[in-house]
Amino acid sequence: MFYSSSLSDWGKRTKWAFSIIELLAAIAVIAILASILIAVSSHVRMSAHKSQGNQAMRQIMANVFLYANDNGGTLPGPLNVGQRVVTQRGLSSQLVKLLGPYYGVDNDVPDGVVVDEMAPSAFLAQYDPTQQAPYYAVPKIFLPSGSYMRPWGSATSKSFYVPRELVPKSLLSLPDAVNAPAITDYDSELVLESGKGVGVDLRQRITEPLYGDSRLIVYWDGHVELVPADTKIYPTLFED
């Protein structure tokens, strides 16, 4: 009986130890599958954000073109560089105000309402739209002569600005629309020229590029490109 009892106990212990090994192996497999699922899910989510952001920028420019068509060819403006996606009835320097009718937003809509068709989903997932601005209205188009024009005009008047710089320009007067950026993502890593940042209110800007190491730019002909985050907004100005 002594041996019988010992063999029985040994069998039970062996069976129990083998079950723990199986459990640990199952946990390891589940952990590996979970990590793969998380990576795939993150990639799918980022792809969806990029696609929606692309469409939002295209729609902004489509509405800019509609606005110009309804206003004798003149672009909306004058604008601030930081562009929000929430209603602000008192600010005519915001595209969300000037383009509101083309998004179906009435003038009696209260302040602080997000215009979903205009807003990047990646921005709404991370930031407060009443505090940060997701878009940067590129203020200059540089000309072959080395001078520049301000297509949106300027809502900020500085002593060295001449009057013609303050008013928005005609859509048909813009040169090289295919290569001239109109709007881009507005984050702290945005580089305008030769390593120089945007140099404006940090409180409005989001902290990092919405799309990882990339950003979206919509050009004056209406096409949108996904470019590396360190792409200069004025790429031809400082080339050798």
Highest mean pLDDT among 29-38, 71-80, 104-113, 147-156: 71-80
Band (pLDDT 50/70/90 cuts) for residue 67 is very high
Per residue in 132-190, pLDDT (tens digit) is 899 999 999 988 887 889 999 988 766 556 677 789 999 999 998 999 999 999 888 88
DSSP for 8-58? HHHHHHHHHHHHHHHHHHHHHHHHHHHHHHHHHHHHHHHHHHHHHHHHHHH
pLDDT higher for 159 or 129? Answer: 129
Per residue in 92-128, pLDDT (tens digit) is 899 999 999 999 998 778 888 999 999 999 999 999 9
Contact 184, 190 (CB under 8 A): yes
State which H helix or E strand residue 65 sits in: helix 2-70
pTM attached to this predicted model: 0.79
Band (pLDDT 50/70/90 cuts) for residue 31 is confident
**Residues 165, 169: Cα–Cα separation, whole Å:** 9
So where are the chain's domains? 2-228
Asked which of 41-45, 187-191, 192-196, 229-233 is least confident by mean pLDDT, the reply is 192-196
